[in-house]
Amino acid sequence: MAVDKKSDKKEVKSLLFARESSGLVREINWLTAMFISMGFIAFYVLPISYLTGLSVSPNGLIVLGALLSWIVLLPHSYLWTKISEKYQRSAADYVFASRVLPPAIGVGVGLVFGISQMIFDAAIVYDDVGQLQTGFSALAVNFGNPYASIASTLSNPYVILLVGALTFSTVIAINIFLPKYTNHIMGGVTIIALITFVLAGALMHFVAPSAINSAGFDYSSIVSSASKAVPLFTNPILATLGLMVFTASFLPFVNGATSVAGEVRGGSRSFKIGVFGALVVSGLLITYFIASSVSSLQPAFFIGAGVLSSTSSSYSALLNPIFDTVVAFKSLPLDLFLVIGSYFWYLAIMFAVALFVSRYFMAIAFDKAMPTIVSYVSERFHSPVVAHLIDEVITIGSLVAITVTPLSAVFFYGMDTADAMALLFGFIIVIIASIVANIRGNGMELGNRGLMLVISVIDLVVMSLYGYIWFGNSTVYLGIVMNPETWTIIASPFIAGIVIYYVMRWYRLRKEGIDIKYTFTEIPPE
């Protein structure tokens, strides 16, 4: 009797992969891909981070630093654009790295991206409620009660937990049960966030010192306090670079659209706009916002507020443009729109991160390096239900730790390292994979080998420089001291990924007779 070798090959392949198709369809267009990327970059909150950083680098060139923050990342964004174009699969950069480098390294990268962003998302959920509290505090300055009472209520840790948990649970529920409408809902949230961001940026140009005085602060004293700022770098060029590092917590995260590359329709054009274009648009908006902010309220104001915030938390509100614009423009409809709209800044980020995290867990499980159930896509809802639920449980659990347990300080310590995890054991390793692929030239390269090699090396230099400044001045940029315990926290998801790969390889080989190393010799079907 003849053996059907073709049939045998199909059977082996079906054993290697969790399924022939992820169950997710190509329904994301270029605009939604761009919105996902812009949300994942989290540029909406960057002006707050950047203006806070002025007290660290008071001698830096403010607008130039904002402009260069995204310009130096253009090679980085272009590299991820090419990864997305060539590997149109869920978590495309994970797929790429795990096929170029040893599989265990790739699984470590995928786990780093997933875990670090759950930690980051818990912070975003927490800060979202904090943004509302700041906004209502500004409303209280103008209109008194009931806004003062709302602001006071929103400062209660149990209220923060309740509002935050309900908000994030709603985002997850929409992703699980309404995937057909998720893109439309996220698009609506993003449009409101963008309108509010542009409006707040424009209004910052007209905020007068008298508005700060009317809020109960002494503008002149705040400006005078700027002289007490101790520059981290004495050289203006290094000081400008020091300002740019404050954007490195968010701007390098250009892989929002990359995470859902298997669901984007429109081919190369969609990824050029969705990844590369998103960074350019976000970067221009950030530069515009920061330039507008320092055009009326002089830089010394933000420097002084940053100095004073270390002694009194009330001054931190002045570093939030929504507080400044609301107290300056005493129009209740406008002020309410600014406050509620700034809540949508964080909501847009949550939608993007929820998509991102689920796709990385699903992709790893798709390669059988995690239990297959994690890659389960509901036939009814067409969403990765289990992956979303993992995100829900861990993020809400983290939020509980932040708000109502004695572990708050410890968790924030860990949260400060989340971006460091992604930089060191995510982005840099994927960049190294690109260098290796383009040197080998065995079909894994991302385009013109010479061009992509140059771009990858430039990107590696930029990311390494950011990492050097981050870790060399960790108490300033990360709020932590680099010691063996810190390095263990930062490296733990990557190490866990390597361990999980070998454990799952052993388990699959013993229980199913499958060596999952062969999974990583081909690109998963979608």
- Mind listing the pLDDT tens digit for each residue in 485-511? 888 888 999 999 999 999 999 999 999
pTM (whole model) above 0.85: yes
Task: Give residue for tokens 């904002």.
Answer: 66
Q: Where are the domains of the chain?
A: 18-521
Q: How many CA atoms lie within 13 A of 111 on its CB side?
A: 22
- The span from the CA of 83 to the CA of 75, in Å, is 12
Task: Evaluate the omega torsion of the peptide bond into residue 146 and state whether it is cis, within 30 degrees of 0.
Answer: yes
Q: What pLDDT, in 10s, does the model give residues 243-297?
A: 999 998 889 999 999 999 989 988 889 999 999 999 999 999 999 999 999 998 9
What is the band of 12 on the pLDDT scale with cuts at 50, 70, 90?
very low
Give the span between the Cα atoms of 513 and 14, in whole angstroms: 13
* Pair 172, 186: CB distance under 8 Å: no
Q: By CB neighbour count within 10 A (0-12 exposed, 13-18 middle, 19+ buried), where does 372 fall?
A: middle
For domain 18-521, is the CATH number 1.20.1740.10? yes
H helices, E strands: number in the chain: 26, 0
CB within 8 A of 194, min separation 6: which ones?
none
Closest CA to 19 of 322, 376, 267: 376
DSSP 427: I
Copy the structure tokens of residue 471: 């870790």
Tens-place pLDDT, residues 195-238: 999 999 999 999 999 999 999 999 999 999 999 999 999 999 99
pLDDT digits (tens, 9 = 90+) for 313-363: 889 999 999 999 999 999 999 999 999 999 999 999 999 999 999 999 999
**How far apart (Å, rounded) are the C-alpha atoms in residues 368 and 16?**
7
The mean pLDDT value for 467-493 works out to 86
106-120, 254-268, 307-321, 371-385, range with the lowest pLDDT: 371-385
Cross-strand partners of 260: 90
Residue 411 has pLDDT above 90, yes or no: no
